[in-house]
């Protein structure tokens, strides 16, 4: 089943009869092949057949990887009173395990001598998987920090005390909410790599959160200096 037109053409070249080509049809019989002297080229024909089998295995592996992602979706849950969502851990863990496995397989396939006929499939697939991996890394980092900072910057008093960091958090929070609405409408995990600017938006959110977190820590340090007993409390407790 793995013999494609390119393999039939290669075998015809090996046999080397001008004006005749080897092909799968209702007229090709064993006797006809013997009459054409095909048996004199069995070694090279076997090599071509072996290549075809290995390439067919590649093709089936690629198809299976695509099929593996069917019905692998993000599951979102509302987060407290924020009117937005966060990612549930179970589907994310499943997707990350599948993603790691597929990246290893795809990179091994790309390095194989049998990959050439499928380069137009393998290269974009690897790019898609690697982008999804970066998205997942940035997303989980962003969610973790957002969960920590959201209740803090939900306080009007904090927003007044550190308005610059408050504005940065508000900007990031708007992006987070937009992303979660979009993902709720398109929950397929493999499709996340195709969402326009998702990786770039999440990366920008994390950069803003780093600034916000640093500003918050600096603010807490000033309170500790004013009230030395606060030094006995962690920033989380404070």
Read off the pLDDT of residues 41-91 as tens digits, 9 standing for 90 and up.
666 666 666 667 777 778 888 999 999 999 999 999 999 999 999 999 999
Roughly how many angstroms between the first and final C-alpha of the chain, as a whole number? 68
Rounded CA separation 173/179 (Å) = 10
Exposed, middle or buried by CB within 10 Å (0-12, 13-18, 19+), for 163? exposed
Q: What is the pTM of this model?
A: 0.79
Length of the chain counted residue by residue: 238
Q: For residue 112, which of 173, 168, 51, 167 has the smallest C-alpha distance?
A: 51
Rounded mean pLDDT of the chain?
85
Highest mean pLDDT among 65-69, 213-217, 224-228: 65-69
For residue 139, give the H/E element and its range.
helix 119-153
Cβ 145 vs Cβ 209: under 8 Å: yes
Mean pLDDT of 116-145: 94
Mean pLDDT of 133-160: 93
């Amino acid at each position: 089943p793995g013999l494609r037109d390119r393999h039939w053409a290669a075998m015809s070249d090996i046999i080397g009869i001008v004006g005749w080509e080897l092909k799968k049809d209702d007229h090709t019989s064993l006797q006809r092949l013997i009459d054409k002297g095909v048996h004199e080229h069995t070694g090279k024909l076997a090599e071509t057949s072996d290549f075809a089998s290995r390439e067919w295995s590649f093709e089936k592996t690629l198809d299976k990887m695509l099929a593996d992602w069917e019905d692998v979706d993000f599951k979102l849950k509302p987060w407290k009173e924020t009117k937005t969502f966060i990612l549930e851990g179970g589907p994310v863990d499943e997707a990350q395990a599948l993603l790691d496995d597929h990246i290893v397989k795809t990179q091994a396939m790309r390095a194989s001598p049998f990959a050439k006929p499928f380069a137009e499939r393998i290269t974009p697939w690897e790019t898609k998987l690697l982008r999804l991996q970066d998205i997942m890394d940035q997303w989980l980092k962003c969610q973790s920090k957002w969960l920590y900072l959201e209740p803090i910057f939900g306080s009007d008093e904090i927003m007044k005390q550190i308005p610059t960091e408050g504005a940065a958090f508000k900007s990031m929070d708007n992006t987070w909410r937009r992303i979660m609405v979009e993902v709720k409408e398109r929950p397929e995990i493999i499709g996340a790599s195709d969402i326009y600017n998702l990786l770039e938006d999440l990366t920008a959110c994390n950069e803003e959160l780093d600034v916000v977190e640093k500003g918050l820590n600096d603010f807490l340090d000033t309170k500790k200096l004013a009230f030395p007993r606060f030094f006995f409390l962690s920033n989380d407790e404070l």
